[in-house]
Amino acid sequence: MSDEKPNEEKPRLGRDVYIALAAIGWADGNLDQDEADAIVRTAVEEGLDIEEISEIEAATKSPVDIGEIDRRGLSKEDRLFVYAVASWMTRLDGKVDEAETTALNKLGEALKIPEKPRWHADALAQEVANMQEGDRPLRYDVPGLRKLIGERLADAQKARAEKSAEEPKAD
């Protein structure tokens, strides 16, 4: 019998996603404390259990590989959100080096995100970073980023549906 409550929402992003984010942070050879705090804070906000949080904290203390990411429970929005957070993290120290770009590409491939949506996710991460609150981890609006991605995906879906409805049907 499961000890899960029926109305309790399960976290959408699993431990492997946060381990991958730690790997992105380590890509340049140094995971800043701000980056580590952002990863752990986001995992806590997602509602992961204490054992998973401990594993994530350990991944922020020594370099790890992106590894496998279980995408089964991840929506398109979730995958773009993870990529956008990783993209933002690569810029926290003011420069993005080749190792970070390579790690970000590896994450995009692991999440099965095509190039154009990666570009859009990166642009949204920058849009949130440029907001008045700033791009520092303690002020970066991570929930706002997730909301913005969801809104933009809904807008794009609506535009595609409208365009499809306007196209003449073939006889």
**Closest among 75, 144, 139 to 113, alpha carbons compared:** 75
Q: What is the mean pLDDT of the chain?
A: 83
Cβ proximity of 141 and 132 under 8 Å: no
Determine the distance from the C-alpha atom of residue 163 to the mean position of all C-alpha atoms in its chain, rounded to a whole number: 29
pLDDT the model gives residue 28? 86
pTM more than 0.85:
no
Beta strand segments in 15-107, E: none
Cβ proximity of 84 and 119 under 8 Å: no
| 132: helix, strand or coil | coil
What average pLDDT does range 149-169 have in this prediction?
86
Determine the distance from the C-alpha atom of residue 144 to the mean position of all C-alpha atoms in its chain, rounded to a whole number: 12
In this prediction, residue 11 has a pLDDT band, given cuts at 50, 70 and 90, of low
Q: What is the dihedral of CA 141, 145, 146, 150, to 10 degrees?
A: 140
Please determine, for residue 53, whether its predicted confidence score (pLDDT) is greater than 90.
Answer: yes
Q: Which domains does the chain have, with CATH numbers?
A: 15-165 (1.10.3680)
Q: CB burial class (10 A; 0-12, 13-18, 19+) of residue 126?
A: middle
